[in-house]
Amino acid sequence: AAAEPELRLRPPAEVPVRLFTEPDLARYDGQQEGQPIYLAVKGVVFDVTSGKEFYGKGAPYNALVGKDSTRGVAKMSLDPKDLTHDITGLTEEELKSLDDIFNNVYKAKYPIVGYTSRRILNEDGSPNLDFKPEDQPHFNIKDEF
């Protein structure tokens, strides 16, 4: 008989996952020494402090932090007009690039510390029933609200 594959669970996050509004996220922009550096992509907030040489004050990708920079990541752009959550009008290639970078860079290297309020809530403030946390595949929002 074939051996059962070993089930490996990731250890729980050190810090409880939280909801970030835009002003909350803006405080983690790498400008203050000793403060964590957060970056959101696709509404998922990552702690990129360990990549301080890329994301810290004066670093090449510092423009991406303290906000949801999904469009900038997809387009590989640091143009201020692209540093937004809005993916309207992106090409298939840019969307594929976004998914590749999201999965193979951010999810692979950096801990998830939360989600943007825009990802969890609808415009009217009601829960987004389609929300699925990236780090908790069996989570069901209907159980939480």
Phi, psi at residue 109, to the nearest 5°? Answer: -110, -25
Average pLDDT over every residue of 89-104: 96
Write the DSSP symbol of residue 106.
I
**Structure tokens, 73:** 């990541």
Q: Map residue 27 onto helix, strand or coil.
A: coil
Average pLDDT over every residue of 43-56: 96
What is residue 127's predicted lDDT score, i.e. its pLDDT? 82
State the distance between the two ends of the chain, measured CA to CA, in whole angstroms: 44
Average pLDDT over every residue of 9-34: 82
Answer whether 0.85 is exceeded by the pTM: no
Of the candidate CATH numbers 1.10.3720.10, 3.40.50.1400, 3.40.50.2300, 3.10.120.10, the domain formed by 18-135 belongs to: 3.10.120.10
Average pLDDT over every residue of 53-71: 97
Lowest mean pLDDT among 28-37, 38-47, 66-75, 120-129: 120-129
Q: Per-residue pLDDT for 19 more than 80?
A: yes
Amino acid at 62: N
Residue 54 burial (C-beta neighbours within 10 Å; 0-12, 13-18, 19+):
middle
